[in-house]
Structure 1
Amino acid sequence: MQIGRYISELLYEHDCVIIPQFGGFVGNYASAKVDRIQNKFSPPSKEISFNKNLTNNDGLLANHISISEDKSFEEANAFVAQQALDLKNRLKAGQKVELEKVGTLYQDAAQNIRFEPDNAVNYSLDAFGFSTLFAHLVVRETVEQKVEKTIRQKISPDISTQLKDRPPIPLDRGKRPLKIMPYLAAAVSLPFVAYIAWLAFNYQLFTTGKFTYANLNPLTEKICVVYKPPLKFKPITIYSPETNLLAAISDTATSVKLSFFERNDPEFSETKQIVVRLKASKPDNTFVARKKPKKAFRFHVIGGCFQYFENAERFVNKLQQQGFEAHIIDIYKGLYRVSVQSYSSRGEMREALASLQSKVNPEAWLLVK
């Protein structure tokens, strides 16, 4: 009896078959695969692997052998134990052990048991009836090939033969007419290019404000613009260095306003005069009473914490309408903490807590800051 045949039969319906004191064969589901290089389609399967740590006797293999061979469970169990011992000895001797329809077992250089499954057998019942498919490459004619084929079919063999036998027509390499069009185009465009260059160097014609169409003719005489001075100048008053302009200014004056225009001049304006400071003004000794700083309130009754500023501000406005001195005290861990009322002592804060819990929020709490 070969134990590999019984393991193979059990792997169709079970995901794990154990050889006691040797190891177990485990089946894992593998989805369908596509090999684009070989154009191969593989159906879903159950991949078999070997685990040397599965050594406990679950009785599955011995029970199957007992039923298949019409033996007692004890005899079947003894057969399985003998097979496990035989497998170990053959592997230690360096032999490769082939289990029918399951795979091949062998030991590597580090004395570890290796397993190569037999991929020719598909143990997945869900893939029953499916086999590996190979897709054949379909070679289609291109558009150029189709057109060439159609033309060849329409040309008769006689015509093609006549064309082959006909001698080539010699080319007439006599005198060719001169190509004068490029030279004619250059001769016509040259004056326009020169005129555009002339305009580029005489751009002042367009900026003088005295431009006429006659100026565009480079052959005409240019009429120079004659400068005409203004008909009337405003008189300039020049004061001598000996003139004392401050003689008429009072000794008590601290500043004076000056203007470049006389009062009867249309350009004169009160708002455009220049203020000149003559001497420093006396310091202002007016007594200003200092306000005493407000008493610090370190004890607060917190009525709520809000994630958004708009909600906190709306709650503050509501409390202020009820007569409380509510305000946003700070931001703690991303929340705006709203104080219903603040106090200067811990005793006042504790006395007011019960009242504020009944009026504002039953969950109001104390904060010392």
Structure 2
Amino acid sequence: MSIAHLDTITKSILELLRERHRVVIPDFGAFTGIYESSEVDRAEKTLSPPTLRIDFQRELRSNDGLLIAQLIEQHGWPPEEAEKRLAAFVEEAERRLARRQMIAFPGLGKLYIDFDKRYKFIQESDNLNKATFGLPEVSLTSLPTAQDMPSEANASGDNEKPIEANETASPPKQTSPKADKPSPANLRQTPSNSANQASWLNSSTPWIILMLLIILLVSGYFLWKKFTGKHNSTSPQTEETTAGSDNGLAQQPATADFNRLSPTDDELLFEDDAEDLADLQYEEEQSAEETTALQEEGEGMPSGADDSEAPTLPPDVQEGIIIIGSFTQPKNAERLIQRLYEDGYDAYSDRRGGRTRVGIRFTYSRAAELMHYLEQMKNKYNVDAWVLGE
């Protein structure tokens, strides 16, 4: 059952967001637009136009009168009727969010509350930037290459004069058979080609050796990293995890299903991960800075927003985040978030570089517990899962 007047209110919000960068729903929150410049996707080799990223801020609830005025102008509602319908919408939306249900705003995105009572918003792929609305992505592989250019042999062959059928052929001369001799042109061409090939090999050999060395170094680094990761996640972590359970540490929900996804669900869930995970290494290098920024943002929130603040952790307990997938399609991110909720996990999501990263949030006091969570996510969801901030 849909919320009353949801489509009508969403249309008015979309119209205001194309003209302004903030729309306040009284006593509920505000949708804010953040400008993002054009971006080059190294994995897909595309250039995306500038976009307007939409976020939801719970602390902005003061009525500025813009949304009510838009409802009156766009739909012809009386002022009292517009305020009454908007209040009914807010009441029903609060009730559904309290039951941990998602609210879908058509053409805008979806809003939900995570386990830490933080409001999370997943934007749809539509570009709300008025200046660049309708501009498509530009492929960087559409330029002609050397293979597309005609070769010299084909060019010279096109200029040769074809033999016409009506020309009279001269009778062949009776000569004694002689051994075939290479023409002077061929005698000149063969040494030249050999010299060019030898010169090319001599000039390219250092670069080929350098590329091979780089490949060997990169491969050795990843093998070393994989070996050390397996070494840290050996049998001692099981003992430490068991000890943590006796001490009352946070454990996995008892209702979680640790069976792997079926092939059909896995194919739908990660249908664009083959390209999205190409940038995970780059994102991992910047994850430490992002974690610090998130902590500073949490410390700078107003004291009045009690329903959006995370609980204070004990000194010996830390919060961990494991990223399971990075998506360009919002429907895939929503599918994984819903699956994590059903499995009993605290779903985590953020948006970076035009992608939505989805994972889980948990608390731990030992490094072995962190590695235990990571192994579970790799075995159950995605072998390329990684720890944010590591």
Alignment TM-score > 0.5, same fold: no
Q: Compute the TM-score of the two structures, normalised by the length of structure 1.
A: 0.38
Instruction: Select the structure of larger CA radius of gyration.
Output: 1
Q: Compute the TM-score of the two structures, normalised by the length of structure 2.
A: 0.36
Higher RCO, 1 or 2 (CA under 8 Å, sep at least 6)? 2
Q: Which has the higher helix share?
A: 2
